Each structure stands twice: as structure tokens, then as C-alpha cells.
A and B are shown apart, each in its own frame.
Chain A
């Protein structure tokens, strides 16, 4: 009995070490190497030593040249603007639509819901060419609004909130209705305060989706001043073209750290939202 227990915990330990090696080591290597010069990066890998994962003799010169040489600061700012805008409008529009579908009786509700349901199945990456034509036809190419506007009416967001709204007991609003409150007041002062968790979840997933989006911003924006972070770091170069690995790693770190911090702090909302809906950005 005791030996099987020891064997089991040894196995558990091995699996955990394997997971660390697979999932944590690449991040450690990238972050550590972003703090080294080219020579050290290469030297620590061939032959491979523990130094590859630890910033021995750290220098911030890669970060300094990254911020001086490229417009990454501008790109970070643009991304923050787009992401916050997209979160605010997605939350507003999706919650309003979810309210109408769950709290107001009107003819045609089923048709409206079917129309939304169908778009859930559309693969967005397959729609880039016509979407480019529609958005640039509206004069929104090369604008931050053009980056966010196609994704604001999110069928995923609507489903997430609709589900939450349906779970709210009707008694909540009955009292307010007897007091003569209209839909607008019920929506803002009774329904919204009671769906904070799903709203936070949707906000976070929207932020993640927006921060990480690549193909659409690449297509719709050519102006470097309107570039967002993923496109900016994608254009830094590949291992063979680029003399400075450290600077690319610094860019990747800068693009990832804000999101990972957000994830670590609010992890349970992320995991919950993804598990219940099965959709991510």
C-alpha cells in the first residue's frame, strides 16, 4: 500500500515536471533571452544550460532599442484604445439585445434569434475579403474604429448574457414594474447590477480576443500610426532575417505580459466563461 502511494506521488511529480518543461520553459527562455545580448542568447542554447532560462547578467538594452527604434508604444496605445472601445460597446449592445430577447415579449423574437444564431456558425477568418470591402466601403479602413466595429455585435456575447438574463428571477423586476418603472430603468437599475459576473466574463474574453487579433487588423490597417500591437511585433522579423533575437523577444514579452497579468488576476472568470461557452478569441 505504502509503496503504491509513493509510486503514485512520484508519477504525479514527473507529470508536473513534464508540464513545467513543456509549458513554462518556452516562456522562461523568451523572457530571459529578451534581457540578454545576442551572443549570450546563442551561447546559452548551444550547449544548452540552465542559464538559458534565467536572465544572468540582465541588460535592458533590447527594450530600450525596441521602444526607440520602433513605434511599439504607439501600437500599445492603439491596442488599448481599440480593446477598451470594443469591450464597452460589446457589453452595451449585447446586454441591450439580451434584455429585449429575454424580458420583452414581441412578435418576431424567434426570427431575430435565428438570425443571430446563424452568424454564430460563420467562420470569421473566411470572411476577410468581403469584410474588407464592406468596411473600406464605409470609409473606415486605416481607422481604429474600423478595427473594432465588425466584432461589436458579438453573437457569442449575446448568448452568454441571454443565458444569464434567463436565470434572473422575474420577481426581481415585478416589484419595480408595479412601482411604474419602465424598461430602461429596469434594465439599468435592476437587471444589469445582477449580472456582474457574466458581464465581467464577457468583457475579459472580448478584451483577450481584441488584444490578440491579428489577421483583421493586418488587412484593414496599413498606416503605421494606426497599427496595433500584434501586427507591430509580427513585422519585426524572423530568426533568419533578423540579427537581433533579443529585441524580438522583448517585443513578444511586451505584447504578452499585460494579458497574462490580467489572466492571472481574473483567471476564474476566463476559465468559467470558456468552459461554459466553449468559445475563445
Chain B
């Protein structure tokens, strides 16, 4: 802008008139832009940036949500507590394990489903609809459904195990099986979404590449391993990050199916934060936990953006 005005004063004369008119128009344009943007930006600031500041500030305080006025500045005490007591470490550990378990299984299965859907298939639309059902079902309904499916005495899965001749399993009531059960459920819930993302990636792979390799004598597996999979590395990274970030924020399974138990074996971090803030009324400590979770998720997203920006073109 200022540079434009400088050239304006230098050139002066006949050019001044249209230039001035343009500035008036520019001002008007700016006003219109503010009008169009203001409602969105106002809500964004109030409900995204203000909570962010509130959270950062409150992580240095000791207070309860029932009586926030009686707050006490405690410095880094909340963060020190996180190191001193092992609730935070355990909860984050369980959450990472959960996310890892989900990702490790979602990626290959979703990819295989995408390959299946990308092949010549009768009733392809129907298959796609079926695997998408859990994606559009709420996590509350899925958690409810699965806690009945996994019920030790009358659940459907134990009924099926009976038929195959496998002993009945305790699932959610066992410290060893509870977390794997939640991983299996989340896998079931998310795999269709992963498959759709992979399918979109597969459809972007030029088919001539594979056909040329096949003519040169490559087997199907070689084409898959040496051409298709490397070409989908961006998509894969994208799916890995989305599934990780989603799993780190899981709440309904722990809240509805296990209450974090047995013996805190499924005490996922968002459930732990919820309990700390709203049940135990230690909102300062909960804010500190939230800050750490936020930083973890941000770090993962940053790594993704950095990797996606680097050139991975084949």
C-alpha cells in the first residue's frame, strides 16, 4: 500500500484522479470483507482462541469448576504433580498403546479393503455401504452395541465362540482383555473410513503404470509392492495421522463401557481429563493434562504437515 502511494505522489498530475477513486473502492472492499468475515472470525476467536488462553492460564492454578473464584496460583505445581504421581503417565501410556493398536491394524486392513473395493466386484456399492455404516454411527451407539456384543454371559460374540468351540471370554471385565477389546471395536468403527481414504488414493494412481509393468512380466504382487504402495505413501501418512489423532481423543468407550477400568486398564486420557475436571473437581490439574494432550496432538499434526510438504513425488 505505502509503496503505491509513494509512486502516486511522484507521478502526480493526470493519473491522480483514477488512483484516488481506486483507493476509495479499495476501502469499500475492505469494509465488505470485514462484514463477510466478522461473524466467522468472532466465533472463532471466542470459541477457539479464548479457550486456548484460558486453558494455558488455568494450568498454573488450583481451582474447581464449582467455585472458580476460589482459585490459587500454584506455578508449575500441576505439571510437577503429573511427573510425581503416576496417574498421568499411566493414562497417557494406555492412550498411546490404544492409538498404536488401532493404527497398526487399521492401516493394513483398510488398505486391503480398498484394494478389494477397487477390483472388479459385484455389488461394490453395497459392500462400501456396509463398511461405512459404523463410520456414520455415533460412538455412543457403537460403545453401547459393543458392550452388549462383548457381554460375558449373554453377548453375541461369546455365543459365536461357543459354536466354534472356543471357551467364553471375559473381555471388558478382564484387565488383560479390556484394552484389546476397545482396540478391536475402534478398528471396526474406523476401518471403513480408512478404506474410503485409501480408495480415493488408489483411484489417483494411473493404471498405465501397473499395466506397463504387467506387460514387462511383473506379477500382481510386484506391481502392488513396487508401484502401488510407494505411490500411496502420502495417503498412508495421512490415514496414520488421522487415525492417531482420532484415537488419542477417544472418550465414549472408556466412559460407557469400562469406566476406565478394570483397575484403570482403559483409563484413556480424555476420560481421565473429564473425571479430573468434572467429577473430582480438580480443574487446574485437568487443564495441565489438556495442555500436554494438546501439545502431543499438535506435534503429530506438525510432523504430518512437514512430511506432506516435502516432495514425495515418484
Residues in chain A within 8 A of chain B (CB atoms): 12, 15-16, 19-20, 22-27, 29-30, 41-42, 45-48, 52, 92-94, 96-97, 99-101, 104-107, 109, 112, 115-116, 119, 121-135, 138, 149-153, 155, 158, 182-184, 187, 208, 211-212, 214-215, 219, 230-231, 233-234, 236, 238-240, 245, 248-249, 252, 255-256, 259-260, 263-264, 267, 270-271, 274-276, 278-280
- Could you say which of A41, A94, A133 contacts B68, with CB atoms under 8 Å apart? A133
Query: B224: CB under 8 A from chain A?
Result: no
Q: Within 8 Å CB of B30, what residues of A?
A: 106-107
- How many Å from the CB of B285 to the closest CB on chain A? 10
- Could you say which of B37, B140, B155 contacts A230, with CB atoms under 8 Å apart? B140
- How many Å from the CB of A98 to the closest CB on chain B? 9
Query: B312: CB under 8 A from chain A?
Result: no
Find residues 144-194 in chain B having any chain A CB closer than 8 Å to their own CB: 144-149, 151, 154-156, 158-160, 162-163, 188, 192-193
Interface string of B48-72 (1 = CB under 8 A from A): 1111101100100000010010000
B41 touches A255 (CB 8 A): no
B44 touches A116 (CB 8 A): yes
Query: B297: CB under 8 A from chain A?
Result: yes
Contacts A127-B294, A182-B32 supplied; 15 other A-B pairs, CB < 8 Å:
A23-B192, A30-B145, A97-B41, A125-B270, A127-B290, A129-B55, A131-B47, A132-B65, A132-B277, A133-B54, A239-B148, A271-B196, A274-B193, A275-B200, A278-B197
B144 touches A252 (CB 8 A): yes
Find residues 20-52 in chain B having any chain A CB closer than 8 Å to their own CB: 26, 29-30, 32-34, 36-37, 39-44, 46-52
Q: Within 8 Å CB of B8, what residues of A?
A: none
B132 touches A271 (CB 8 A): yes
B51: nearest chain-A partner, CB-CB: A130
B47 touches A134 (CB 8 A): yes
A42: nearest chain-B partner, CB-CB: B154
Q: Within 8 Å CB of A23, what residues of B?
A: 130-131, 133-134, 188, 192
Query: CA of A152 to CA of B43 in the docked complex: distance in angstroms?
Result: 7
Query: CA of A106 to CA of B28 in the docked complex: distance in angstroms?
Result: 10
Q: Within 8 Å CB of A127, what residues of B?
A: 48, 51-52, 55, 290, 294
Query: B280: CB under 8 A from chain A?
Result: no
Query: B139: CB under 8 A from chain A?
Result: yes
- How many Å from the CB of A268 to the closest CB on chain B? 10
Q: Within 8 Å CB of A158, what residues of B?
A: 40
A214 touches B135 (CB 8 A): no
- Could you say which of A130, A211, A245, A270 contacts B54, with CB atoms under 8 Å apart? A130
Q: Within 8 Å CB of B103, what residues of A?
A: none
- How many Å from the CB of B287 to the closest CB on chain A? 6
A122 touches B154 (CB 8 A): no
Query: B100: CB under 8 A from chain A?
Result: no
Query: CA of A255 to CA of B122 in the docked complex: distance in angstroms?
Result: 31
**Contact A212 to B138, CB < 8 A, known contacts A130-B287, A274-B193:** yes
B43 touches A214 (CB 8 A): no
A214 touches B137 (CB 8 A): no
Query: B219: CB under 8 A from chain A?
Result: no
Interface string of B106-140 (1 = CB under 8 A from A): 00000000001000011100011111111111111
B239: nearest chain-A partner, CB-CB: A278
5 A-B pairs in the complex with CB atoms less than 8 angstroms apart: A22-B188, A149-B43, A234-B252, A255-B138, A278-B242
Q: Within 8 Å CB of B151, what residues of A?
A: 239-240
Q: Within 8 Å CB of B26, what residues of A?
A: 105
- How many Å from the CB of A112 to the closest CB on chain B? 6
Query: CA of A274 to CA of B128 in the docked complex: distance in angstroms?
Result: 14
B130 touches A20 (CB 8 A): yes
A48 touches B294 (CB 8 A): no
**Contact A97 to B273, CB < 8 A, known contacts A278-B197, A280-B135:** no
**Contact A256 to B163, CB < 8 A, known contacts A93-B43, A130-B51, A214-B252:** no
**Contact A126 to B301, CB < 8 A, known contacts A134-B47, A252-B141, A260-B137:** no
Query: B238: CB under 8 A from chain A?
Result: yes
- How many Å from the CB of A168 to the closest CB on chain B? 16
- How many Å from the CB of B160 to the closest CB on chain A? 6
Interface string of B273-303 (1 = CB under 8 A from A): 1100110000100110010011001100110
B32 touches A104 (CB 8 A): yes
A157: nearest chain-B partner, CB-CB: B40
- How many Å from the CB of A51 to the closest CB on chain B? 11
* Complex interface: stretch among B73-81, B83-91, B208-216, B243-251: B243-251
Q: Within 8 Å CB of A184, what residues of B?
A: 32
Q: Within 8 Å CB of A260, what residues of B?
A: 133, 136-137
B164: nearest chain-A partner, CB-CB: A48
Query: B10: CB under 8 A from chain A?
Result: no
